[in-house]
Amino acid sequence: MTAQTTSSNVFTFEQLMELFRETDRQMKETDRQMKETDRQMKETDRQMKETDRQMKETDLKIKETDRQMKETDLKIKETDRILQESIQEMRASNKRTDKKLAEFGDRLGEIIEVIVEGGIIRKFRELGYSFSGCSRRYEFENKQLDISGEIDLFLEDGDDALAAEIKTKLTISDVKEHIKRMERFRKYADARNDKRHFLAAVGGGVVCKEVQYYAMKNGIYVIIQSGESVEIAPLPKGFKARVW
């Protein structure tokens, strides 16, 4: 019985060689796996280092963002301070403007008084008109035609009348607006069957040459202040008064 068992554990040469080859193959595979494991560990280490680098960069970015936010907050506070100061300055400026507007109204009244007292009717008589009356702040209105307005000075006689707009400082825009006012007044007069000829004049405490030229080009007389009196600006050659 013992002799048979010993005989069954004996390997042949071919079996031993196969066993050696299998062992060698397993060792090579183990070596390959170890090298792959080492490679993976190195890659993992590289990735961990890259992650650490990225985390450091992210931390720097967070700190930079925080710094920028603090700077932005300071700028917002500074902007708000400047804005509040500007609002206060605007309010103060509005008060000064309101005061100037009040002074403007007083000054305009003074200019009109100077024009009237300076003999404006006589000045126009020298040009051939026979105005005998002068009204201040002549108001007109026709609700049906939706027409209304106010004329600073209204000179009139039997057949002719003249509407004058007076400003502290006359501008081209003022002249244009007076032309529109004259057109409205013409419609108002027609509705009343008023067939008179209406002429226009503008004037002011300050009238520059450009504005003076523009008004006269449109057939409008220009009243200018001359010391304590007033004058009608010299009429250019070929001037023809516009009639509404």
* C-alpha atoms less than 13 angstroms from C-alpha of 210 in its C-beta half-sphere: 5
Q: What is the pLDDT of residues 37-57, one digit of tens each?
A: 888 888 988 888 898 888 888
In the chain, what are the domain boundaries? 15-109, 118-232
Per the CB < 8 A criterion, the answer to whether 131 and 156 are in contact is yes
Gap between the Cα atoms of 7 and 142, Å rounded: 142
* CATH architecture of the domain formed by 118-232: 3-Layer(aba) Sandwich (3.40)
Q: Pairing state of beta strands 197-206 and 160-169? A: parallel
Q: pTM of whole model > 0.75?
A: no
Handedness of CA 37, 43, 49, 54 (dihedral sign): negative
To the nearest whole percent, how much of the chain has pLDDT over 70?
85
Alpha-carbon distances, residue 16 vs 12, 26, 223 (angstroms): 6, 15, 135
Which of 99, 123, 207, 114 is closest to 152 using CA atoms? Answer: 114
Q: What is the pLDDT of residues 12-21, one digit of tens each?
A: 888 888 888 8
Residue 1: pLDDT above 60?
no
First-residue to last-residue Cα distance in the chain: 152
Which of 185, 174, 110, 112 is closest to 147 using CA atoms? Answer: 185
The pLDDT of residue 22 is 87
What letter does residue 170 receive in the DSSP assignment? -
Q: Work out the pLDDT band at 111, boundaries 50, 70, 90.
A: low
Gap between the Cα atoms of 75 and 70, Å rounded: 9
Q: To the nearest whole number, what is the mean pLDDT of the chain? A: 85
Residue 181 CB: number of other CB atoms within 10 A? 18
